[in-house]
Structure formats: structure tokens, C-alpha cells
Structure 1
Amino acid sequence: MRNVRLSVAERREELLRATVEQIEERGVAAVRIGDVATALGVSNALVLYHFSSKEKLVAAAFSHAAECDMATLRAMTSRRTSAVRRLRASVRWYAPSGAPKGWRLWIEAWAVALREPALREVARDLDLRWKAALTGLIEEGVAAGEFRCADPVAAAQRLTALLDGLAVQVTSYDGALPRARVYAWVDEALARELSLDCAALRAPSAAR
């Protein structure tokens, strides 16, 4: 067993990261407290000291993953560049890229959320925050005259529905869709929502 002195906050974060990794690898149903403890070289008792049950550990792990995702999104949306470039970067980051690890976690979350109210709240909150961020970027671009969009809220909802559906396909069926095709469809959908053509969306001038 490891004997490393960490603060309570550091230990909890270490446990949450390890739990996320175990969920991605094994799925929620198969993950045990012992798996997390073994991965870190600590005792089951230490894990249970910080999280009194597997259910609380799993819920906290999903919340931790959601906050990490939102931190990445905030970094993208706060860049000092055009709204269209930030939008394209954000949706391409969110889109499944062919490496299913991160999306496997959230597909697990959706499945478990059907039965677990705590996880349903986490997944729902993340979904609402993502759509709000997209909506804000679209509204910003419209106000700046970069593109046109009559209903930014509906546009964000449609884009999210497409991305979520693509994620299920790519994650569930190995090789179902090549990365290039996924990104092409994402660009086409975004251009359509912004009343642009794909060439304008990808043009260097859109990057300024």
C-alpha cells in the first residue's frame, strides 16, 4: 500500500480521478470500491473514509468529470478570437473523435441516470450548461455580425442532439464512422445553423 501524505482535498481528487478511469474501463455496474483502492495502492477503508458508499463515490466522480469538462469548455469559449472560431473549436472538441474513452463515461452516465436521481441531476446539469455556453457563443456572433441565426437556443439544442447521437454511434460501434466524416458532418451542421457555407466556416478569416 502507498504511504503518501495528501491533504483531504488532494486525496479526494485522486480518488475521483481513479474512479472515473475505472468507470471508463469497466462500466458503473462492474466497478467496486476495491478496484479504485487497488488502482491507487490504498486500502478499501481509506476510500470509504472519504466516500461512505460506492453510490456516493460514483456520483461524486461523475460530478468531478463534469467540472473538468466545463473547465475545458470555459477555456475554449474565453479565447480572444472570433465567436465562429470558438464555436467551431467547441463543437469539434465535444464531437466524438474516434477515441471513445471520454464518451464511454457519459454514455454510462446516461444509462445509470435512468435509475439514479443523483446521476440524472449531474448529467442534466452538464447538458444545460453545455447548451447555455453554445447559445451564448451563437448570440455573441450574431451581435457581432459574424453570422445569422434566428433562434440560438434551438440551434444549440439541434447541434447537441447531433453530437450526442454521433457519440453513441462512434462509441458503441467500432469503426462505424471515420473521424473525418464525423468532423465533416459537424462542420456542415454548424454552418447550416449559422447561415454560412462550410468554406466560410473553415476560412482563415473566420479565425480572426
Structure 2
Amino acid sequence: MTQSKTTRSYLSAAERRAEIADAAARIGIEEGLERITLRRVAESVGVRPGLISHYYPEAEGLVATAFVHATDDESDALFVHDETRAPVERMADFLARAFSPESAELSRLWLNARNLSRYNGALRQALTAQETANRRRLMALVSEGVEAGEFRCDDIERSVILILILVDSLTAYANEERSDATPLVAPVVYATTERELGLAPGALGGHTAEVETRSASTHSEAPAS
């Protein structure tokens, strides 16, 4: 215990700020953004509340930081840029991840953030910034597909907004059992995305199966001894 406190005392300002943001993000995901208080985060990190307020004077700013911290990781997972994979494959990856069981926690976080942002200006700005960033990343992917001749899309921005709205529709079911809603929502999203990008019906569904198979085989592999 003494060693842990000694180690903590030597954290740099950047490391301490990152530690606090990570703790706040975990609380937001597991308990809800409204549970992020200076005292609650201090308990999680194992320090006095005064240290938290030194880096984040207001709880509103800490809530916004926690949301960005959590959703940055989500966006990186959704928009993996792998130059060895064609745009159509990466679009299939994007949809597969968006409808994966792992995304359920983040869907609840987004729903929570949208409700809470009505009363938290800092969170509202962070929410808008994250939505804009996701739209730009998906537009970049679609643009790349159009340039490569894989997608046919007359209005990229309109198509991207429509796709994101449909993907985001699953958030409405975030507090329910995702397995019940996904079979109803997913086919509509896949069919609409394929139509908007000029793809044949089922073009993205086939790649989705490959992604799921590849993911399952990766998790089942034992680490090399």
C-alpha cells in the first residue's frame, strides 16, 4: 500500500491527468455520467478530492473529458484504417463493430450523454465534436471507396449522415436487451448502406461474416509459450 502511494506521488502532471480521465471514463461507462463527481473519482483513483479539483476544477468539465476519453477509443475501433483492406471490407468492419455486443456499453454512454448534455454545456460541446469527428471519418472512408471505384455515391455527405442516423438508431434500445433489437434494426442499416453506396444486396453482409469468423478465431488462439 505504501509503495502504491509512493508511486502515485511521482506521476507527472500529464500522467495524473490521464489517470483521472481514465477513472472518470470507467465510472461513466459502468455507472453513468451523472455519477462522475470529484469525490467519486478521487475514491476511484485513491487520492483526495482536492487533487482532482486541481486538474479539473469543475465536475462538468470532468464529465465532458470522461465522455471524450471513452468515445475516442470507440471511434478508433470503429474506423480502423488498414491500407491492406479495401474500402468495402472496412465498411463491413465498421457495421460489424457497430452492431457487436461490445458496443452496447458505449451505446448506453452516448444515450446518457445526449440526455445529460441538455444541462451540461461542456458535455454538449464534446458531444457535438465527437459526432462531427465520426462523420468526417466515415466520409473519408466513403470518399476513398468512391475514388477506388468500389462505391457509387452521388452525395457522399448525405449518404454518410443517413448511415450514421440509422446506425445510431440502435442507441434508442441501449437500455434494453440489444439481442432483441439488433435483428430488427441491422437488416435495415445494411440494406440502406448497400443501396446508398451502390453495392449489391448482401455485399456487406458477406464481409461481416468474415469479420466475425476472423474475430472468433483470433480470440480462440492461445498465446504462444
TM-score between the two structures when normalised by the length of structure 2 = 0.78
Q: Any unmatched runs of 5+ in structure 2?
A: 211-225
Does structure 2 conserve the Cα–Cα contact (< 8 Å) formed by 1:159 and 1:189? Answer: yes
- Aligned partners of 2:52 and 2:19: how far apart in 1? 10
With over 3 angstroms needed to count, the CA separation of the structure-2 counterparts of 1:155 and 1:99, relative to structure 1, is closer
Residue 153 of structure 1 pairs with residue 162 of structure 2: no
Answer with 32-41 or 129-138: which moved more. 32-41
- Aligned partners of 1:167 and 1:52: how far apart in 2? 31
RCO (CA 8 Å, sep 6+): is it higher in 1 or 2? 1
What is the aligned counterpart of 1:24 among 24, 29, 33?
Answer: 29
TM-score between the two structures when normalised by the length of structure 1 = 0.84
Question: What pairs up with 1:1-208 in 2 under 5 angstroms?
Answer: 2-3=4-5, 4=8, 5-74=10-79, 76-95=80-99, 97=101, 100-169=104-173, 171-175=174-178, 177=180, 179=182, 182-203=185-206
Answer with 171-180 or 7-16: which moved more. 171-180
With over 3 angstroms needed to count, the CA separation of the structure-2 counterparts of 1:68 and 1:109, relative to structure 1, is same
Q: Any unmatched runs of 5+ in structure 1?
A: none
Spell out, residue by residue over 1:67-86, the C-alpha distance to the aligned partner (whole angstroms, 9 max, x if none).
33343345x13432111111
Q: CA RMSD in A?
A: 2.5
1:177 Cα deviation from its structure 2 partner: 2.5
Q: Percent identity?
A: 28
Answer with 77-86 or 154-163: which moved more. 77-86
Does structure 2 conserve the Cα–Cα contact (< 8 Å) formed by 1:92 and 1:183? Answer: no
1:148 Cα deviation from its structure 2 partner: 1.3
With over 3 angstroms needed to count, the CA separation of the structure-2 counterparts of 1:99 and 1:146, relative to structure 1, is closer
- Aligned partners of 2:106 and 2:178: how far apart in 1? 17
With over 3 angstroms needed to count, the CA separation of the structure-2 counterparts of 1:58 and 1:101, relative to structure 1, is same
Spell out, residue by residue over 1:162-189, the C-alpha distance to the aligned partner (whole angstroms, 9 max, x if none).
11111221x1222562555554443222
Give the total of aligned pairs. 203
Q: Which structure 1 residue ranges, 4+ long, deviate > 6 Å from structure 2?
A: none
| Structure 2 counterpart SS, 1:189 | helix
